[in-house]
Amino acid sequence: MPQKDIEPSLSAASGLVPVAIYTRVSTDNQVGGRFDSCESQAAICREQVARRSGEGWHEVACFTDAAYSGSTMNRPGIRALKRMIEAGEVKVVLIYKLERVMRSTDEWIPFRAFLKKHGCRLESATEDLSESTPSGRLKNILMMGFSQYERENTAEKTLAKMEQQAKRGIWNGGMVPYGFDYDLKAQVLRPHPDEAPVVRRIYNLATKLVSLTEIANALNAEGLRTKGREFHRRDGRVDHVGSQLFRSDGLRLLLRNPVYRGAVRFAGQEYGGKHDSLVTPEIWEKANAAVSPTLPRPEPRVTDRDINGHLLKGLARCGSCNCALVPTDAFKKAGAEKVYRYYACRSIMRQRAASNCPVGRVSADALEKVVVSFLCEVSKHPAVAAAAIQHSEALKSKDRPALVAELALVQAKLDVVAKRFKNCIQAVEAGGTDVLGGELRERAAELRVEKDRLLVEREGKRQQVEACDATKLTEQRIQDALERLGETLPKMEPVAQKEFVRLFVEKVEVSKRTQRVRAGEAPEPARQMEVKVRLHVPRLVEGMDEKAWSETRTQRGAMSARGLALESKVDFTQAHRGEVTIVAPFSQVVSFGSGARPGPKPAPAPAPAEQKHTIHRARLWQRMLDSGKVANRATLAARESITPAAVTRILKLTEVLPEIQDYLASLKTPNPGKHFPLKVVGQLASLPPEKQRTAFKRMQQRFAISLG
């Protein structure tokens, strides 16, 4: 029964009693036409206000918390209600039932003290909440205790139900994992036709020891994004989230999710699922071993800006001292600031005058031009292809037996560790004494780490064996790849050329040629050097295949086989005049200009407002990609010093209707991107032609209005 007594202080001044109605439901299913919905609760409370209008009751506000738990008072409606109470605008809080306010005994006492402090009281339209007597206060505390018990009991039963569902292989819900769709009718996960192949590709690359960062960069360069999702908020808003760039931490979580091998996880336990797996348990285990944080981290690769773009940085070495040839620059004022680039042996940089390195410093322009010219001309010599085949056969006959033996040894160790690990797991599951339980778990954890290490080691050995087996490269295929290399390499932009050379050139070794003067012969030039270029021919052949370019680039770090060394004799005597001569294996004069370049340009001043629309840049980039001037979008991004995602967004403009592109290209007004933003225009590409025209016509109309 509702309360009938009214405190005289509430209506002493004006006889009016300001009432605030509060309603709450716990789940989205209760929002709507149910008898206990927020709307029904508010209607019953308003009837109570109408019945007591003669006592001065009038409604001043109605607060609702839809789909909020009663375990805490940290809810938007309660917070707003408290602010009105603190301002003295509410003297009665009217509710449907006490459990609608809260279901926690810990929250009840502070809330009751808060109401008393501000001269407000709590009343119910269906219950007697009078606290004027000790028995009334005890009754309210008991009601709150029963409400808390009911909430906790419901939560416990829900968890028990979810555990039983997991044991039966039923996915318990949540965000649908990338690579799956949810069949609402059958209540089971189904492979997504577009995302499932991407998941399998991620796992396969991880098993080949490709870093997660390289995998993410490759996916992003292809325009792939994470799963897009819709979140329906309590206030009715719909938020679109996801569709973001792939990141290494997100890929790590994806690889560790057992749902992809056909299992479901609940409360730390895994059970066989009813849905189809996307990868086999073996691939899942190999991928997780490869990304395990217990494995030693690779050595950090320190990079700098390399302002003057040294093509052979990190590849050139001194054959005499077995030291790296480090890029160095020398500046000289000759009317204008100029820079002279060199590759200097690290020994002379450390020891200065004490070093007697016969190589010393080599002109960077000369050495780079020699290497590029040598790679372009080598295709004209069929003996190179024959040497590559002979080299592969030699590797196979010499290295393969040893590698196979090492692989078998690692496999044997792995079998022993896997057997011991399985025994530990079975012993822990079977129970046993309390004394050995902790030790068994520790031993199982140690064996798990050792198993992951051996899995990674086995994959490395397997890749080396596969590299030795790369004899499918016929002499004709190698010759074709070398010919395409000679046509493509000189036309590439410096950034793309540097990236492509690093794909298949393992080392460039420079050493001083030993003087051997026979009787009656003239001595050789004092600056005649031997330049030895070590190539990875299988990687070169794969890299020249346009379809395999991106995949080969991604897997570059996994290759570990030794390459084929091609030797040449180069005369650097006239390098100071911008000319060197390849003496052997063929004769060719290579010119490279004066050997000096303009120095680094100062930072440009802020540019004025853009006078051209971004469509000009998009068309230019598309032509560069189509002509092969740049290999792919990742190379283009590196060349422009932007992210691959930005390249993809800009190239999206080339997918809209040609008439729209022509209009944007013809704009002459300042800052046209303000009126036709890149993001808005790019979104038109996903629309049918007629809808594109309609949407763009509205943009043109707004543009005309802005011009006045």
- Topology at the third CATH level for domain 8-155: Rossmann fold (3.40.50)
- pLDDT tens digits along 380-395: 666 666 666 666 566 5
As a three-state string, the secondary structure of 472-523 is CCCHHHHHHHHHHHHHHHHHCCHHHHHHHHHHHEEEEEEEECCCCCCCCCCC
pLDDT confidence of residue 63: 92
Taking 50 as the pLDDT cut, the residues of the chain under it are 1-13, 31-33, 294-304, 334-336, 433, 435, 471, 517, 519, 522-523, 546-562, 601-610
Burial of 565 by CB count in 10 Å (0-12 exposed, 13-18 middle, 19+ buried)? Answer: middle
Note the pLDDT tens digit of each residue in 609-642.
446 888 888 898 888 888 877 777 777 777 777 7
- Contacts of 698-702 spanning 24+ positions with Cβ under 8 A: 699/675, 700/663, 702/675
CA distance 676 to 260: 43
* 393/112 Cα distance (integer angstroms): 87
User: What residues contact 136, with CB distance under 8 A and at least 6 apart?
Assistant: 128, 129, 130
Q: How far does the chain reach from its first CA to its final CA, in angstroms?
A: 69
pLDDT at residue 385, as a whole number: 62
Tally the C-alpha atoms within 13 A of residue 483's C-alpha that lie toward its C-beta. 8
Q: What is the pLDDT of residue 379?
A: 64
Handedness of CA 463, 468, 470, 476 (dihedral sign): positive
Q: What is the pLDDT of residue 114?
A: 92
Does the pTM surpass 0.75? The reply is no
Q: Which residues contact 429 (CB under 8 A, 6 or more apart)?
A: none
Q: Quick one: pLDDT at residue 89?
A: 92
CA atoms of 67 and 7, how far apart (whole Å): 34
Round to whole Å and give the CA distance between 156 and 154.
5
Question: What is the CATH topology of the domain spanning 180-290?
Answer: Hect, E3 ligase catalytic domain fold (3.90.1750)
Question: Residue length, the chain?
Answer: 708
Domain ranges of the chain: 8-155, 180-290, 312-581, 615-707
Rg value, the chain, Cα? 37
pLDDT of residue 86: 92
Bond prior to 585 in cis (omega within 30° of 0): yes
Residues contacting residue 539 through CB under 8 Å, at least 6 positions apart: 503, 504, 552, 556, 559
